[in-house]
Structure 1
Amino acid sequence: MTSTTAPTRRARLALTPHTSLAGLLDGAWWPYSRGLATELPSLVDALRDRWGRVTRITANPAPWPVAPHKVRLGEYAVQIGWFTGQDPDTMILLSYGLGRCDLLVVPPETEPASAARLMAAASTPGNLHTTGTLMSDESTIGRRLREARAGGNARETEGRASPQPRPVVGARMIYLPQSMRR
């Protein structure tokens, strides 16, 4: 069993607001590393007010180099079930009386702008996208943005101004305090 101490950093977390418009996801979590035993205490602490005491977690072991079956959080331990059939970008957290919390797990190495878009999409009330769809869509958006930047740089060298970025209709911005940025 892996033992941890009190969280040292706030969890980078975006949750859906309390509403009757339920979706497939309850939000997104952007860990700082792939060390689950290190990252889990701040996540569980951040969810305590809304979901109570998290006692069990299910995840796919692929994104986590070390896959502990228990992580001790102070006076109790969280049981972790590893399922290769579960989407690698999904984590399900269970609590005794308040049910479950399904989160998109944004890979720690994700660029901040991309992570903000993913967190906004996953925490939108009534979201009907799976984590796989969100990650695939973000990959496409990221590729288009890189191509646009590369094209804009080429146009600038030709003496023409690059196009101004256009806002995404229906997008919601999430503010990440300085302490939560990389």
Structure 2
Amino acid sequence: MTATLAPPLSARLALTPETTRAGLLDGAWWPRSRDLAAELPSLVDALAERWGRVTRATVNPGSWPVVPHKVAVPGHTVHVGWFTEQDPDKVILLCYAVGRCDLLVVPPGTEPGAAARLMAAAALPGGVRTAGVLMSDEAATGPRAARDARGGEDTWETDGGSTPPPSPPSPHPVVGARMIPLRGNPRR
């Protein structure tokens, strides 16, 4: 009796449409595990037609338990580097056809609704939010958004209003980005 290997699962991706409106991210990737050597081949394969041959990838080592120096992918090897300064929620890919591609990495255990929101936000053409901002926004508003969609109430509204919830940053009037007050000298 011979064992047959199951075909590799395709990468879960959301990519920005091909437009001239460049954003901070080129889309999002939702890997099934934190095993970079197992996940990277399906990502590289899925991107090959649109972005060409991926030759290098960089990640933050805090997000991946093991960061191999090289990962074998169909037809070639991808060299992997790591930088602690890189956003832990992003993978950077270097490709022959387009140069650099930045993807939000949605954590493998993310609830499907939250993953869908994150992937859609990362794939907006001309998006001005970084991977870290998208993740923190989802952490701050995701459960509340899900509760509101079900018709739930805030506890502040039902406990007599003892402590009001913190107000979110106000939207920027021009680009829709959230403005966050900075500490220190505002005249810089």
Query: Shorter-chain TM-score: what band?
Result: 0.7 to 0.9
- Once superposed, which parts of structure 1, at least 4 consecutive aligned residues long, lie more than 6 Å away? none
Query: Which residue in the other structure is 1:143 paired with?
Result: 143
Alignment of 1:58-97 (within 5 A): 58-97=58-97
Query: Which residue in the other structure is 2:178 paired with?
Result: none
Residues 98, 81 of structure 1: CA spacing in aligned structure 2 closer, same or farther, 3 A cutoff? same
Shift of 1:147: 5.5
Give the 3-state SS of the residue equivalent to 1:91 in structure 2: strand
Query: Which residue in the other structure is 2:158 paired with?
Result: none
What's the Cα RMSD here?
2.1
Residues 6, 57 of structure 1: CA spacing in aligned structure 2 closer, same or farther, 3 A cutoff? farther
Looking at structure 1, the residues matched to 130 and 73 of structure 2 have their Cα atoms a distance apart, in angstroms, of 29
**TM-score, structure 2 normalization:** 0.74
Shift of 1:98: 2.3
The answer on whether the counterparts of 1:94 and 1:100 sit within 8 Å (CA) in structure 2 is: yes
Larger of the two Rg values belongs to structure = 2
Query: Which residue in the other structure is 2:134 paired with?
Result: 134
The answer on whether the counterparts of 1:7 and 1:41 sit within 8 Å (CA) in structure 2 is: no
Looking at structure 2, the residues matched to 105 and 6 of structure 1 have their Cα atoms a distance apart, in angstroms, of 25
Give the 3-state SS of the residue equivalent to 2:121 in structure 1: helix
Number of aligned residue pairs: 149
**TM-score, structure 1 normalization:** 0.76
The answer on whether the counterparts of 1:7 and 1:42 sit within 8 Å (CA) in structure 2 is: no
Query: Which residue in the other structure is 1:52 paired with?
Result: 52
Residues 52-79 of structure 1, C-alpha deviations (whole Å, 9 max, x = no match): 0100001101111111010011332100
Query: Which residue in the other structure is 1:110 paired with?
Result: 110
The answer on whether the counterparts of 1:118 and 1:138 sit within 8 Å (CA) in structure 2 is: yes
Shift of 1:146: 6.0
Shift of 1:100: 1.1
Residues 65-104 of structure 1, C-alpha deviations (whole Å, 9 max, x = no match): 1110100113321000100000000100001342111000
The answer on whether the counterparts of 2:57 and 2:79 sit within 8 Å (CA) in structure 1 is: yes
Letter in 2 for 1:28: A
Looking at structure 2, the residues matched to 6 and 45 of structure 1 have their Cα atoms a distance apart, in angstroms, of 17
The answer on whether the counterparts of 1:92 and 1:100 sit within 8 Å (CA) in structure 2 is: yes
Looking at structure 1, the residues matched to 17 and 58 of structure 2 have their Cα atoms a distance apart, in angstroms, of 23
Query: Which residue in the other structure is 1:98 paired with?
Result: 98
Looking at structure 1, the residues matched to 94 and 7 of structure 2 have their Cα atoms a distance apart, in angstroms, of 20
Give the 3-state SS of the residue equivalent to 1:114 in structure 2: helix
Q: Which runs of 5+ in 1 are unaligned?
A: 155-182
Query: Which residue in the other structure is 1:12 paired with?
Result: 12
Looking at structure 2, the residues matched to 92 and 6 of structure 1 have their Cα atoms a distance apart, in angstroms, of 28
The answer on whether the counterparts of 2:45 and 2:74 sit within 8 Å (CA) in structure 1 is: no
Letter in 2 for 1:66: V
Looking at structure 1, the residues matched to 7 and 71 of structure 2 have their Cα atoms a distance apart, in angstroms, of 13
Looking at structure 2, the residues matched to 28 and 37 of structure 1 have their Cα atoms a distance apart, in angstroms, of 18
